[in-house]
């Protein structure tokens, strides 16, 4: 069903419930009462879409070091884009740099035979340094905004958190995955892997023109939501998809930033000299 038609049907009170139930059944989710997501952030619009078809999809937050006992979304604490509120017994605070610090009854006592790593990861008063950057609302809800180690500084001397920008890019149906970088450069750049259905046709001139137009509009929209120092100079389209086999993804399908950055380093000067906002690698 075309997205516009589905959206129209879902907006009709009684019909929308029937259509939502049919979609859930087609997805094999018709018996799901509560759906949770973790490991990596979901685009808020994706959460809203599932909720429109009647699936109560929420995000949580935790890690191996605290036995995944950290934050949970439920009831009024389940706004898309947030991972909920602290679970019972969990204490949380933000460092001056915005790093999420957690003290939990489920936390590990340290890293096995790695006392130096344990000292680096735990504050003097027992809070675990998660490595994640976050923001908290007055009601206690937490939004994860990026990884502390992923921050990079441009030539303007400002730090940029890539994850929020990547989430905006990844929400576009033309984009399968993306990486934002720009260490020491005048401004950030983004590399995207096109969606699987587009890749076989990306040498077609008509497809290229369409992709360039759509991604150019996407870049303009995303930059309009960012501070001046965060704005992306260009979107570069990767020639090949990133995969575990070529070393660009981890076994859990996360991007290996350092490897991708090293691979594209010889091309950066040419990309920055290009006139357009969309560049083919």
Q: What is the CATH number of the domain that holds 113?
A: 2.30.38.10
Q: Which of 123, 146, 169 is the last residue of a domain?
A: 146
Report the SS3 class of residue 44. Answer: helix
Beta carbons of 149 and 129 less than 8 angstroms apart: no
Asked if 46 and 105 sit in the same domain, the reply is no
Task: Give residues with Cβ within 8 angstroms of 172, minimum separation 6.
Answer: 214, 215, 218
Choose among 143, 145, 189: nearest CA to 167. Answer: 145
The pLDDT value given to residue 82: 95
Task: Divide the 281 residues of the chain into consecutive groups of 10 and give the mean pLDDT of each group.
Answer: 88 93 95 88 88 94 92 94 96 93 92 93 94 93 88 87 91 95 93 95 94 97 95 96 94 90 93 93 89
Asked if 254 and 190 sit in the same domain, the reply is yes
Asked if 124 and 212 sit in the same domain, the reply is no
Largest separation between any pair of C-alpha atoms in the chain: 60
Asked if 155 and 265 sit in the same domain, the reply is yes
Beta carbons of 257 and 181 less than 8 angstroms apart: yes
Asked if 193 and 173 sit in the same domain, the reply is yes
77 falls within a domain: no
37 falls within a domain: yes
* Domain housing 125: 61-72+82-146
Secondary structure letter of residue 267 according to DSSP: G
The pLDDT value given to residue 205: 94
Give the total number of structural domains in the chain: 3
Query: What is the spatial distance between Cα 84 and Cα 136, in angstroms, rounded to a whole number?
Result: 10
The pLDDT value given to residue 86: 97
Beta carbons of 83 and 143 less than 8 angstroms apart: yes
**HEC-encoded secondary structure of 90-150:** CEEEECCCCEEEEECCCCCCCCCCCHHHHHHHECCCCCEEEEEEEEECCCCCEEEEEEHHH
Asked if 194 and 134 sit in the same domain, the reply is no
The pLDDT value given to residue 158: 87
Question: CA 70 → CA 80, 90, 105, 174, 202, distances in Å?
Answer: 18, 6, 10, 34, 43
pLDDT in tens, 138-158: 999 999 988 888 888 888 888
222 falls within a domain: yes
pLDDT in tens, 60-103: 999 999 999 999 999 999 999 999 999 999 999 999 889 999 99
The pLDDT value given to residue 256: 93
261 falls within a domain: yes
**DSSP assignment string, 162-203:** HHHHHHHHHTSTTEEEEEEE-TTSSSEEEEEEEPTTTGGGTT
Asked if 166 and 45 sit in the same domain, the reply is no
The pLDDT value given to residue 164: 87
């Amino acid at each position: 069903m075309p997205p516009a038609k589905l959206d129209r049907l879902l907006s009709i009170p009684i019909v929308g419930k029937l259509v939502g139930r049919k979609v859930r059944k087609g997805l094999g989710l018709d018996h799901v009462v509560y759906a949770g997501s973790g490991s990596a952030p979901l685009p808020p619009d994706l959460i809203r879409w599932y909720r429109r078809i009647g699936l109560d999809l929420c995000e949580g937050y935790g890690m191996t070091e605290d036995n995944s006992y950290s934050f949970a979304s439920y009831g009024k604490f389940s706004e898309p884009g947030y991972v909920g509120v602290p679970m019972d017994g969990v204490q949380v605070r933000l460092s001056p740099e915005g790093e999420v610090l957690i003290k939990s009854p489920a936390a590990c006592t340290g890293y096995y035979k790695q006392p130096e790593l344990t000292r680096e990861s735990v504050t003097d008063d027992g809070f675990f340094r998660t490595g994640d950057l976050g923001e908290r609302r007055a009601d206690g809800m937490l939004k994860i905004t990026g990884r502390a180690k992923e921050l990079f500084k441009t030539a303007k001397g400002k730090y940029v958190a890539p994850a929020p920008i990547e989430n905006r890019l990844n929400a576009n149906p033309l984009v399968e995955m993306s990486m934002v970088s720009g260490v020491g450069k005048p401004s950030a750049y983004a590399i995207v892997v096109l969606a699987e259905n587009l890749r076989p046709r990306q040498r077609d001139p008509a497809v290229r023109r369409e992709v360039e137009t759509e991604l150019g509009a996407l870049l303009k929209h995303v930059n309009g939501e960012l501070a001046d120092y965060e704005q992306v100079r260009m979107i570069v389209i990767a020639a090949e998809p990133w995969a575990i086999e070529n070393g660009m993804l981890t076994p859990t399908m996360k991007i290996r930033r350092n490897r991708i950055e090293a691979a594209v380093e010889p091309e950066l000067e040419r990309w920055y000299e290009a006139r357009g906002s969309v560049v083919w690698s």
